[in-house]
Chain A
């Protein structure tokens, strides 16, 4: 089935490198979310898009993190000058309409980022 896909699945970066993580949501889904999940922890919200509009980026930990969804479908999370504390799994989720709390979010498998 055509679920949420993410690439790459694994990424190893040297400290200071820039990385780009891709998310392909379920076709036709309006809302897209990015989460960061540290080892052994629950996911934490990073940012939210409704179509191409980034409606909430309050969870982005620093200005090194940047997300975009220019055509309202595929999204890219970019991390500049990566630091070791950026090591985590980055999860993408999509939902059919407005992303209201009652609406199911469908998660991708995540990208596991390791910064050395």
Chain B
């Protein structure tokens, strides 16, 4: 069973709308959680990193939240743009300090 699970698997929204992507993890012990954006045909790019003590962190129109008690994180995208179309991947290091990736949410923003 994957230790990092994301939902939904895919999502289509209209330009200008907001959306929220979910990540549940079972990786333990917890050190940090990252959200990556991966454009088609490109490598992932880090959007934000959340540590145990952080509940919310924003990066422009992206806001990540973390609930370490329930082991859940979300990524909220505000006022979506066409360029937001990409896969969004949740990443948590495992006990061996190697990154464990979720399967990603494929977001498509339509005009």
Contacts and interface: CB of A to CB of B under 8 A. Distances in A.
Contacts, number: 57
Given A58-B98, A91-B43, 6 more contacts: A40-B106, A56-B96, A101-B32, A101-B97, A107-B44, A108-B43
A105 interface: yes
Contacts of A102: 31-32, 49, 51
A21 B16 CA distance: 40
Contacts of B98: 45, 48, 56, 58-59
Interface of A: 4, 33, 35, 40-45, 48, 56, 58-59, 91, 93, 99-102, 104-105, 107-110
Could you say which interface size class chain B belongs to?
A: 20 to 34
A91 B87 CA distance: 15
Nearest to A93: B43
A48 B36 CA distance: 20
Contacts of A101: 31-32, 93, 97, 99
A42 B89 contact: yes
A54 B4 CA distance: 26
